[in-house]
């Protein structure tokens, strides 16, 4: 059963729809991340859940109760901000105790809970300091502790790691995931760092212009994007818009301007109607023309148009009769610009999207 549900939500700023007919359901104890390009409405969604923002239409259900109009301070949801938002006039102890004091906890209870949560976020001994005296990573851990200590029903993160350097980001995301799983807190996590989302989430929602394009577990999104937008977003750089798709028992036949391709059919391939083929640059194969006598299936003859050195590999743009393709190749094989080659799309490396 879902812990909370956003039902047909619409949000507009200045008559411009930011979210439209937005639906999202999250189960208890799961970490769901919202991933998408800048301005797609991730923060808006999070603020809506927190109650900072009212929807123009739609409902927010929490434990099957209508929470749409419940004010922020009555929701008991924790929020962790991108820039930490620690109270500069309060010590770390008082920052964390802020929510407990409002809940009229006794002095000894507050002491116990604060110390306990400081232990969870590995900040024992820092309670007398002030926020200005902490590093970015420590501040973020205080922010997390402050949100955790009120035992929130939902924990909301808005790009909590984007102000930290790369190494710390990796450590912190592991920490966040560990704490989230240990305490079993239902969490919504916003980021535009793909790796971050994929590594810590039970489910990832890919958003585009105020709608969710796909909501699945990370592995499914990575392998089987449903739409062209999602595919593009997660690195399928090559797209072929086929004219015709014919499904057989164990394969799919595809046609484009007289060229035909075969795709291996696989049980997890849920998109039954998409006619756009998507392939990652890493999954295409290039062969020298002389290598082969007869033209193999799923192959096109092409010419190297651009060759770019990427350090670990080369990136080629290959020109073919049905369009340009981007291909990544190991350092060991290199092709000259202008060289005639054969480009092969392996049977099991293409996915079909809408």
Partner 1 sequence: MKKRYLYLLLLPGLLFLTIFMIIPILLTIGTTFFTENGFSIQGYLDFFKDRYFIEILLTTLRVSLFTTIICILLGFPAAYYISKLKQRKKAIMLLLTIFPLLTSPVVRSFSWMVIIGKNGVVNKMLMGMGLIEQPLDILYTPTAIIIGLVHLFLPLIIVTLVGVMENIETDLLKAAESLGASRLAVFSKVIIPLSVPGLVIGSILVFVGSFTAYTTPALLGGKQRVISTFLYQNAITLNEWQVASIVATIMIAVTVLIISIMNGLAKKLNPKG
Ligand X SMILES: Nc1ncnc2c1ncn2[C@@H]1O[C@H](COP(=O)(O)OP(=O)(O)OP(=O)(O)O)[C@@H](O)[C@H]1O
Q: Which stretch binds Mg ion (CB under 5 A): 38-46, 93-101, 275-283, 323-331?
A: 38-46
* Contact call for residue 40 and ligand X (CB under 6 A): yes
Residue with tokens 């109650």: 51
Which residues 6+ apart lie within 8 Å of 344 measured at CB? 284, 285, 286, 287, 296, 298, 299, 300
Q: Which is nearer to partner 1, 154 or 343 (CB)?
A: 154
CA atoms in the 13 A half-sphere facing the CB of 123: 27
Site for partner 1 in 108-137 (CB under 8 A): 130, 132
- Compute the distance between CA of residue 283 and CA of residue 306 in angstroms, rounded to an integer: 18
Q: Do the beta carbons of residue 202 and residue 217 sit within 8 Å?
A: yes
* Contact call for residue 102 and partner 1 (CB under 8 A): yes
* Contact call for residue 147 and partner 1 (CB under 8 A): yes
Q: Do the beta carbons of residue 57 and residue 18 sit within 8 Å?
A: no
- Compute the distance between CA of residue 341 and CA of residue 185 in angstroms, rounded to an integer: 53
* Contact call for residue 44 and Mg ion (CB under 5 A): no
Q: Which residue is nearest to ligand X (CB)?
A: 43
Which does residue 83 bind out of Mg ion, partner 1, ligand X, none, counting CB within 5 to 8 angstroms by kind? partner 1
Structure tokens at 279: 């392939």
- Compute the distance between CA of residue 22 and CA of residue 6 in angstroms, rounded to an integer: 7
Distance in Å, CB of 193 to ligand X, minimum: 10
Q: Which is nearer to Mg ion, 187 or 349 (CB)?
A: 187
Distance in Å, CB of 66 to ligand X, minimum: 23
Q: Which is nearer to partner 1, 73 or 273 (CB)?
A: 73
Judged by CB under 5 A, which of 43, 95, 105, 140 binds Mg ion? 43
Size of the site for Mg ion (CB under 5 A): 1
- Compute the distance between CA of residue 20 and CA of residue 57 in angstroms, rounded to an integer: 9
* Contact call for residue 311 and partner 1 (CB under 8 A): no
Judged by CB under 6 A, which of 27, 39, 124, 223 binds ligand X? 39
Residue with tokens 């290959």: 318
- Compute the distance between CA of residue 44 and CA of residue 31 in angstroms, rounded to an integer: 18
Contacts with partner 1, residue ranges (CB under 8 A): 50, 52, 72-79, 81, 83, 85-89, 98-99, 102-103, 130, 132, 146-147, 150
């Amino acid at each position: 059963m879902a812990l909370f549900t956003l039902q047909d939500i619409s949000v507009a700023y200045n008559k411009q729809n930011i979210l439209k007919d937005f639906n999202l359901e999250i189960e208890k104890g799961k970490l769901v991340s919202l991933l998408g390009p800048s301005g797609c409405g991730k923060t808006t969604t999070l603020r809506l859940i927190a109650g900072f923002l009212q929807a123009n239409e739609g409902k927010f259900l929490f434990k099957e109760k209508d929470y749409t109009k419940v004010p922020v301070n009555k929701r008991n949801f924790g929020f962790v901000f991108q820039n930490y938002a620690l109270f500069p006039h309060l010590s770390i102890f008082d920052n964390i105790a802020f929510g407990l004091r409002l809940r009229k906890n006794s002095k000894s209870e507050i002491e116990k809970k604060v110390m306990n949560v400081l232990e969870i976020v590995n900040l024992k001994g820092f309670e007398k300091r002030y926020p200005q005296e902490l590093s970015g990573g420590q501040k973020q851990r205080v922010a997390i502790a402050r949100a955790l200590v009120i035992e929130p029903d939902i924990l909301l993160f808005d790009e909590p790691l984007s102000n930290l350097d790369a190494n710390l980001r990796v450590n912190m995301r592991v920490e966040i995931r560990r704490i989230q799983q240990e305490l079993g807190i239902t969490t919504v996590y916003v980021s535009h760092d793909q790796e971050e989302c994929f590594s810590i989430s039970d489910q990832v929602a890919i958003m585009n212009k105020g709608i969710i394009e796909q909501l699945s577990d990370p592995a499914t999104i990575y392998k089987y994007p449903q739409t062209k937008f999602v595919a593009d977003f997660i690195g399928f750089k090559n797209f072929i818009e086929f004219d015709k798709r014919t499904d057989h028992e164990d394969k799919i036949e595809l046609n484009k301007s007289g060229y035909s391709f075969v795709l291996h059919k696989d049980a997890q391939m849920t998109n039954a109607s998409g006619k756009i083929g998507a392939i990652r640059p890493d999954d295409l194969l290039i062969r020298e023309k002389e290598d082969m006598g007869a033209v193999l299936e799923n192959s096109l003859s092409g010419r190297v148009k651009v060759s770019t050195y990427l350090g670990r590999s080369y990136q080629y743009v290959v020109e073919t009769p049905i369009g340009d393709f981007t291909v990544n190749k190991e350092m060991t094989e290199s092709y000259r610009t202008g060289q005639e080659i054969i480009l092969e799309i392996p049977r099991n490396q293409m996915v079909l999207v809408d």
